[in-house]
Amino acid sequence: DTAVSQTPKYLVTQMGNDKSIKCEQNLGHDTMYWYKQDSKKFLKIMFSYNNKELIINETVPNRFSPKSPDKAHLNLHINSLELGDSAVYFCASSQEGIRDSPLHFGNGTRLTVT
């Protein structure tokens, strides 16, 4: 059973397009995250939701919009894709309090913008 699953695994698209990445967790966790790993291998947090409520919103362009229909899902929609958006995007989840529940990550979505 996959604990945190995200789709698609690979996404190749052209500049200017709009795309979505879906994420679902079956761990019963309250908090979900989106992380971005860029070409320099930095893993940086983008957003965090707790029980469908946005709690962390890093300085991410507003072309990126997370949507949490329920606490088991956190989708990422990206408008007007740019070359610099090419990266691997990881979804993760945890219980509230990382001390008690370290992040569980999905396997990533490799986004390539041409």
For the bound state, the minimum distance from the C-beta of residue 94 to another protein, rounded and expressed in Å, comes to 9
Nearer to another protein, 14 or 40 (CB): 40
- The nearer residue to another protein, 15 or 98, going by C-beta atoms, is 98
Provide the minimum distance between the beta carbon of 80 and another protein in the complex, in angstroms, as a whole number.
27
In whole angstroms, the minimum distance from the beta carbon of 93 to another protein comes to 11
Tokens at 76, concatenated: 């990422």
Question: Which CB atom, from 39 or from 80, has the smaller least distance to another protein?
Answer: 39
Binding site for another protein (CB under 8 A): 4, 31, 35, 40-45, 48, 55-56, 90, 92, 96-99, 102-108
The answer for 55, left when phi > 0, alpha when psi is -120 to 50, beta otherwise, is alpha
Record the tokens describing residue 11, joined without a space: 């996404």
* Residue 49 Cβ vs another protein, minimum distance, rounded to whole Å: 12
* Residue pair 112/11 in contact by the 8 Å Cβ criterion: yes
Question: What φ, ψ does residue 68 adopt, rounded to 5°?
Answer: -120, 95
Residue whose CB is less far from another protein, 9 or 18:
9
List beta partners, residue 91: 34
Longest dimension (CA), the chain: 41
